Structure 1
Amino acid sequence: MLTSDHDTGEATVHGQVAPGFEGVRDAFEQVVRDQPLPTGQQLAVHHDGERVVDLWAGPGVEADTVTGVFSISKGAAYIVVALLVQDGVLDLDRTVASYWPEYGQAGKEGTTLRQLLAHQAGAIGVEEHLTIEELADEAVIAARLAPHAPYWTPGTGFGYHGLTISALLCEVVRRATGRSLQDWWEQRVRRPRGIGFYLGLPEELDSLYLDVAPAVPGPDDEVPPQPGKLEAIAFSRSHMPDLSVFPNFPLTRALGQGSAGGVASARGAAAAYAAVIGVLDGSPALLDPDTTEEFTRIHSEGTDLVGQAESRFALGFQVLDNRYAALGPDAFGHGGAAGAMAFAAPSDRLAYAYIRSRFALGDSADKENTLMIDAMLSAVRGGR
């Protein structure tokens, strides 16, 4: 590995890259230079069993600093569910109510676990919206959603369950196994492999946490949806107009809400996906090829009923080749609200994570990730 402590003129970039990956370091340095305000940033990449990129920059950021990763948390939830399906504990085509009888009411009786994972269930929130305290606790979310009617007939369309999907999955997991999704993550994935990606940050590690900062409002920012629209319901806008506060709320990171309450470093998020596809330090892949194929093929595609934009989902995971053109069709993972991204690219034997502690404006984070992903793929496919 090549040590990389470079002063970009705005912030010093620390860390290392393997020979052949200097272009990724250059791309990361450009991203750091282009930040309009101080921002903590980390980038980690695994390739063929080796961590080949390990970089960080920004105030208060070290290699193992963790911050709120918002919907990157969902990836951890989906990994747990995939493992339990692989083990035969959960069946994708059984109804949610067969595991959790209280859910089988108000038009949700026939909703399958497959439909839930594909964001087809319509259980995006409640009319009066959920408070931050309620959103931090998945047991509370599940209890509020169980008697509530879906916002569309399950299976007839799809819409992003941005703050509720993990609570629904967690209740299924708890009913089926007697253990929480967070406990499965800790015991089956995080702890055995020493991964710095937490669904429930231990109090003794809270000193590693870096608060998420909001983006500076500007004239081109999207106007938040008004309460009553599906997006407002899905993101509880009346109680949480600024999503950046959510992981900074101590109860959120203590309980590890798996839709948006996880905390991680880039090292941790990249290692999680490396573990899934078997490129983490020689450890066997967590998921076998059949399970990976099932969970990463497209199940929902078209206009998202919540966001009213073209979108697509596998079983929970985002399929990313339409977002980052250089990736292959088997790349899967999940982005986070502040602009972070974590994924695996099995055909390239890669796992990638970029974490930022300040919300990005507009599409700037997609441009940042595109720059770094293109450099990474050039290094790998160029035959280093």
Structure 2
Amino acid sequence: MSQAREATVPQIHGHCDDRFSAVRTAFEANFRERDELGAAVTVLIGGEPVVDLWGGWADAARSRPWERDTLVNVWSTTKGPTALCAHILADRGLLDLDAPVAAYWPEFAAAGKEAVLVRQLLSHRAGLAGLREPHTLAELYDWDLTTARLAATEPWWEPGTRSGYHALTYGFLVGELVRRITGLLPGEFLQQEVTGPLGIDFTVGLPEKEAGRVAELVVAETDARQQAALFAQMEPLAVATLLNPPTGAAAANTPQWRAAQIPAANGHGTARAVAALYGIFAGRGRSGDRRILSEEAVERVREGQGSCRDLVLGAGIGHDTEIALGLWLSGPEGSYGPNPRAFGHDGAGGSCGLADPEAGLALGYVMNRMGHRISDDPRKTALIEAVYGAL
């Protein structure tokens, strides 16, 4: 390693219990060996922080240090908190996971979807991974338009038979159920019921007053080329899911994206916040002295719906996976550590939230240099391996 390369490794801030020193080592190695730009990682054991580290830069120009309270768009790591909203309603008896979606959203019954169940929305099995007609970014920011088009859309496959990752549509589908039941958009419901009372620094969309704290998302040229090559090989369903409309760092850095409600993809928070939200699952429904979900509800969250080669992401992941009711199970591949019943969610580019109730473990990892991997970014994997190695 050259001295110039060594000089780019930033100072790491925060704290790390001695028992978890390997996590600090892995976090530092992400900067030294895996092209990290700015990032943070938080690990909770039994609800207590044993790792809370941050470092690097909040912008491509390396003019703004990553601070303790730096926010960043975490992409699909947002889906965990969005699923949490639905499970809170189910836990209160307001949402029946085995009821037709149309019981709450009558317009959804169009185009042969009258029998699609709520659990099929939660587990990416509703056949609505993407819209069939062209949909622009400006239209994506219009909640009523996007949900109306989804309600009118014919499924791409027979609902319930296979999973097909609903990259952007997931948040509108689950979120519209939240809105129909509560009158609140999912980000508003999350703030009212969870993040506000618990003081968790996470929002769906970014309030304008917080713009000074948000990190710039960056894509390296090599990652952009590899991602373009991946997209060029996609089947039509994957194109409709991931490229209609095209998103990415350039879009997500705009005020329009940040201000919108996109509950599958534009949650903004710290690693501490991600760990706290996934920590509700790891704590079997408790966060500190507050109960957010019953223990039975947490077990429902990780109720597997069948392992299969995902219709959208299967080729990129390369093996069968299992999506539970809103999150992915770690499974035999150990995507979220060695406990196959641990569960979590990755975000585009590398972010991650993880919950392992058996270990009482929650992890949040956020960053701004977006990698090209569909899942299991090597930075995230190194951190998870270090955490479990310390247990």
3-state SS, counterpart of residue 355 of structure 2: strand
- What residue is the counterpart of 1:183 in the other structure? 188
Partner secondary structure for residue 19 of structure 2: coil
Alignment partner, residue 65 of structure 1: 70
Structure-2 residue corresponding to 1:198: 203
Partner SS, residue 110 of structure 2: coil
- Counterpart code for 1:294: R
Query: Of residues 293, 296, 316 in structure 2, which corresponds to 1:290?
Result: 296
The structure 2 residue matched to 1:233, chosen from 236, 240, 247, is: 240
- CA, structure 1 residues 100+244, in 2 after alignment: closer, same or farther (shift >3 Å)? same
Trace 1:262-277 onto structure 2 (pairs within 5 A).
262-277=267-282
What is the identity, as a one-letter code, of the residue corresponding to 1:312? E
Which residue is equivalent to 2:351? Answer: 340
Q: How is 1:357-376 mapped onto 2 (pairs within 5 angstroms)?
A: 357-362=368-373, 366-376=377-387
CA drift of 1:49 comes to 2.6
After TM superposition, give the deviation of residue 268 of structure 1 in Å.
0.9
Deviates more, 1:222-231 or 1:108-117: 222-231
Question: How many aligned positions are there?
Answer: 371
User: What are the Cα deviations for residues 138-182 of structure 1, in whole angstroms up to 9, with x where unaligned?
Assistant: 332111111111111211222001100110111112112222221
Deviations 1:258-304 (A, max 9, x none): 11111111111011112343398733342222111111021132121
Which structure 2 residue ranges, 5 or more long, are not aligned?
1-5, 58-63
CA contact (8 A) 2:251 2:257 kept: yes
Deviates more, 1:185-194 or 1:57-66: 57-66
The one-letter amino acid paired with 1:63 is R
Question: Which of the residues 27, 38, 41 maps onto 2:39?
Answer: 41
String of CA shifts for 1:170-227, please: whole Å, max 9, x gaps: 1112112222221110011111111111113221111111121113236655431478
Q: Does 1:327 align with 2:338?
A: yes
**Deviation string, structure 1 residues 227-251 (Cα, Å, up to 9, x no partner):** 87101101235x41x5223422322
Which position in structure 2 is the counterpart of 1:4? none
Q: Does 1:354 align with 2:359?
A: no
Contact 2:336/2:354, CA 8 A, preserved across alignment: no
Percent identical: 35
RMSD: 2.2
2:102 to 91, 97, 101: 97
After superposition, give the CA deviation of every residue in 1:55-80 in whole Å (9 maximum; x if it has no partner): 11111311111111100011110011
Cross-structure match for 1:306: 312
Report if aligned partners of 2:75, 2:265 keep a CA contact under 8 Å in 1: yes
**C-alpha spacing 1:115/1:354, structure 2 compared with 1 (3 Å):** same
User: Quick one: distance in 2 between partners of 1:138 and 1:344?
Assistant: 30
Q: Give the whole-Å Cα distance in 1 for the aligned partners of 2:88 and 2:375.
A: 34
* Deviating more after overlay: 122-131 vs 189-198: 122-131
Q: Is 1:316 aligned to residue 315 of structure 2?
A: no
Q: Deviations over 1:73-114 (max 9, x none)?
A: 111100110111001010001111111111101111110101
Quick check: 1:312–1:318 contact (8 Å CA) kept in 2? yes
Cα pair 2:350 2:373 within 8 Å, conserved: no
* In 2: Cα distance, 1:247 partner to 1:212 partner: 7
- Asked if the contact 1:199/1:257 (under 8 Å) is kept, the reply is yes
Structure 1: distance between partners of 2:115 and 2:374: 38
Bigger drift between 310-319 and 127-136 goes to 127-136
